[in-house]
Amino acid sequence: MSNDLPDNGDRRRAVPSGRVTRLLGLGSLATGIAGNMLVEGARHLAQGKRPRLGDLMLTPANAHRVADKLAHMRGAAMKVGQLLSMDAGDLLPPEIGAILARLRADATPMPMSQVVSVLEANWGEGWRRHFRQFSFTPVAAASIGQVHFGVTSDGQRVAVKIQYPGVRQSIDSDIDNVAALCRMSGLIPKEVDFGPLLQQAKAQLHEEADYLREAESLRRYRDLLADSADYAIPAVRDALTTPSVLTMTRMDGVPVESLTQAPQEERDRIVTLLMALLFREMFEFRLIQTDPNFANYRYDRETRQLILLDFGATRDYSVEMIARYRQIMEGAIQRDREMIAPAAMALDYFDANTSAKHCEAVLGIFIDVCEPLRFDGAYDFGTSELAARLRDAGMALGMERDFWHTPAADVLLLHRKMAGLYLLAARLGARVQLSQFRDGFLPRCGLGGGG
């Protein structure tokens, strides 16, 4: 068995796995931020300016330091940075948002010695016998684990997802500590209520950190989509899968978000497949992969198959919840607020104490969300300002201090998935006839319209 890359240490740093070590890492980060504040304060004084505390904390130097430390720690520490960069990015100065956006790209990979240690703990010391070849160069490194390619002893090409050590045990404390740090450092404005976001991050991370659960979700999706040759999903190698290591058949293809210059027909078809899958997930399977990360989708240009990856954030939805979403969507397509309101209240978007102004704002967002479903032709996401309008409306509502209301995690996660698909459709400039799904899954809404 060959190793593709020696452990030369470039860009690689061991993941701190102990709770004390991780806490000390955040402590050193706080100390570094304070040091940067002193330097920045001295610079302001030298220029004859009276420094403001917020200006001293909210600097590119501090943002760089935070992003670098979270990328090193990985796990929940990195995940909360990713979520904050996505959800609060528009409230941050552009240069700060750009630095934190680094956390949505690759994490710092583990060194080979730590990879070997994790694999020995999960597969035993003789694990190399299972492979003809194993690459110690990760092809992807994210918040929870990193992915390696290999060839098994029976000749099958596989992708091996290896969880960072200590991630599962440190989720809650990491998120609480990083949230406090981001708030203290001024990297998150005081006006942003990100408590619900943190609770969502904890729940999502605990589920994603269980690779046996993800393996079962993979199997379920392969069965559910067995009738469609348009989708390709990896198969699990059970003998090489544990709670911390997930081994699957390797699937290549190109990143979906890289296809911005592909022919219009190809971009339209890819987004149509994604939208069709969402409607099947909601109304047929009641099983939804809720992570909107674009990296979860790749495209095989030879077979024209959409490749689905990463099922860690898969959730079951109850019959009652889906029925309420159906009612909301049918009401929104028909602009019938009286039809939407009871279902929205049942899903805890608002309650009996919510002001009429805020209720109307929520109902208006639903109606806007379903704009593409009201359109009978191909809806042009590339020229539409829908994604920006929804973002602005949601942000304006979230900044209302007397409307800090948090629906259940399932609701929040479904929203994130739908918003992610709209953003991807806009990035690809796709034109999609969503009325076909309206007529197929929402039969009471087979109406003409123009948006």
Active-site residues, by number, are 291
Q: Name the residue among 255, 198, 247, 185 with its Cα closest to residue 218.
A: 247
* Residue 216, burial from CB neighbour count under 10 angstroms (0-12, 13-18, 19+): middle
β-strands 131-134, 287-289: how paired? Answer: unpaired
Task: State the DSSP code for 5.
Answer: S
- Six token digits for residue 67: 């992003």
Phi, psi of 151 (to 5 degrees): -125, 120
Residue of 173, 167, 158 lying closest to 118 (CA atoms):
167
Ramachandran bin of 286, using left for φ above 0, alpha for ψ from -120 to 50, beta for the remaining angles = left
Sign of torsion over alpha carbons 28, 33, 38, 40: positive
In sequence order, the β-bridge partners of residue 247 are: 160
**Dist. CA 295–CA 257, nearest whole Å:** 8
- In angstroms, the CA 357 to CA 25 distance is 45
432, 372 Cβ separation under 8 angstroms: yes
DSSP-derived pairing of the beta strands 231-232 and 305-308: parallel
Please, are residues 216 and 131 in contact by the beta-carbon 8 Å criterion?
no
Maximum alpha-carbon separation in the chain: 71
Six-digit token string for 22:
């991780």
3-state helix, strand, coil in the chain (%, to 5): 55, 10, 30
Decide: helix, strand or coil at residue 339: helix
* Amino acid at the residue 198: L
Number of C-alpha atoms within 13 angstroms, CB side, residue 276?
14
Cβ–Cβ contacts within 10 Å for residue 36, how many?
Answer: 20
CB-CB neighbours of 90 under 10 Å: 12
| Gap between the terminal Cα atoms of the chain | 59
